[in-house]
Amino acid sequence: MQPKDIHPSPVLPMPKSILLADDDPNTLKVVIHFFKEFKKNYEVYHAPNGQIACSIAMQKCPDLIMMDWDMPIMNGLEATTYLKVQPETQHIPIVMITGQMLKDHHLEKAFEAGVVDYIRKPFNSTELIARINSALTLAESFKRNYAQKLEIEEKNQSLTTLYKKEKELLKTIIDHKARELSVLAMQISQKNELLHQVKCSLKQATHKDDIIEAIKSIEKHLSKGDDWKLFRTHFESVHPDFFKVLGQRYPQLNENELRLCAYVKMHLSNKEIAHLLNLSAKGMESARYRLKKRLRLRASQDLNQFVANI
């Protein structure tokens, strides 16, 4: 016996929902009668005034609202104005219905409040159904646009949050590297200062050959470039474009002048920089003077400020 093919039942679309706000019970009867006549399976909510209409709209979010202008407690224009500023209901199309407010300035007020169409009473069945179909088509478009807007806003929010976290992480990394760089500069400065003091002490103590050799070794160590290479690697991780920009703008700068620029960029004191470069106070003053000339700075321009802005 062959098994029978089982076809899944088609998923029926949910009926469209319409909120009719009108204090005249006959209007509700007429509208429902027209829906039956044209075989329209709409889910209809009814509100006798604008205040109740707003409450139902906020709870049910219907596909379309038909709003009578002249109602007690809160009229249709007031209810429309209220619903159009609520995030939950501002996308719902509203059709104004009235048998009295028919002048041009009434139409203008209604459209300014946010209605999408205007139907006069008494209704013509064909016109009413056509207008409702048109408004529901518009409602579908509104819903799609509204859903896309929410999706875009959600993605933008996610991107903004991600960017903020990445920015905070990057700042933390840079701050950490900057602290490491400062510690390294201080260590090199202290080491050079100590070696310089030892060299001076040895010079004053004796001129024996073995001590002279020790002094030469210290001087060689003071001028060794290993500390600078290590420092430059750390410095470029914090200020990646600094030497590149300097090289492009001032290709005439030598290695020692680049070092001086880097130390100035770190806001080190002249004493600290002098220890790092193995310079005397007078030598430090001369080095800053020569650097200003090489950078083509006027006498009145501040070297520290200039380098900080690079």
At 58-87, the pLDDT tens digits run: 999 999 999 999 899 999 999 999 999 998
Q: What are 89-112's pLDDT values in tens digits?
A: 998 999 998 877 667 788 888 889
pLDDT for residue 261 = 92
Whether 210 and 303 share a structural domain = yes
Do 86 and 34 belong together in one domain?
yes
Question: Would residue 218 count as lying in a domain?
Answer: yes
Helices (H), 250-295: 255-265, 270-277, 281-294
Place of tokens 């992480």: 169
Q: What are the pLDDT digits (tens) for 106-164?
A: 888 888 999 998 888 888 888 888 888 888 888 888 778 878 888 888 888 888 878 88
Does residue 202 register a pLDDT over 90? no
SS3 content of the chain, % helix, strand, coil (to 5): 65, 10, 30
Q: Are residues 118 and 212 in the same domain?
A: no
11 within domain boundaries: no
Helix (H, G, I), strand (E, B), or coil: what is residue 302?
A: coil
Q: Is 208 contained in some domain?
A: yes
Question: Confidence band (pLDDT; 50, 70, 90) for 3?
Answer: very low
**Is 91 found in the same domain as 182?**
no
Do 80 and 175 lie in one domain? The reply is no
Residue 90 DSSP class = T
In this predicted structure, which of 19-23, 71-75, 227-231 has the lowest mean pLDDT? Answer: 227-231
Q: Answer with the one of 140, 173, 201 that is the final residue of a domain.
A: 140
Q: Is the pLDDT of residue 199 over 80?
A: no
Both 182 and 293 in a single domain?
Answer: yes
* Claim to verify: residue 204 and residue 283 sit in the same structural domain: yes
Asked if residue 267 belongs to a domain, the reply is yes
Q: Determine which helix (DSSP H) or strand (DSSP E) holds 216, and give its type and residue range.
A: helix 209-223
Residue 172 has pLDDT above 60, yes or no: yes
* Burial state string for 21-58 with b = 16 or more CB within 10 A and e = fewer than 16: bbbeeebeebbeebbeeeebebebbbbbbbbbbbebbe
Asked if residue 252 and residue 187 are part of one domain, the reply reads: yes
| Residues 29 and 134 both lie in one domain | yes
pTM over 0.75: no
pLDDT at 184: 64
Closest by CA to 102, choosing from 121, 83, 85, 84, is 121
Backbone angles phi, psi at 65, to 5 degrees: -120, 125
pLDDT at 6: 46
177 and 283, same domain (yes or no): yes
pLDDT, residue 190, reads 61
Are residues 170 and 273 part of one domain? Answer: yes
Q: Of 81-95, 165-179, 207-221, 231-245, which gets the smallest average pLDDT? A: 207-221
Q: Which residues of 238-272 are buried (b: 16+ CB within 10 A; e: fewer)?
A: bbeebbeebeeebeebeeebbbbbbbbbbebebeb
Is 254 within a domain? Answer: yes
* pLDDT for 201: 63
Q: Are 26 and 46 in contact (CB under 8 A)?
A: no
The verdict on 49 and 80 lying in the same domain is: yes
Q: How many domains does the chain have?
A: 2
Q: Which of 107, 140, 173 is the last residue of a domain?
A: 140
Please, which pLDDT band fits residue 4 given cuts at 50, 70 and 90? Answer: very low
For residue 200, tell me if it sits in a domain: yes
Q: Which of 87, 107, 140 is the last residue of a domain?
A: 140
Domain-located, residue 89: yes
Domain of residue 241: give its range: 163-308
113 located within any domain: yes
**Band (47; pLDDT cuts 50, 70, 90):** very high
| Domain at 46, CATH number | 3.40.50.2300
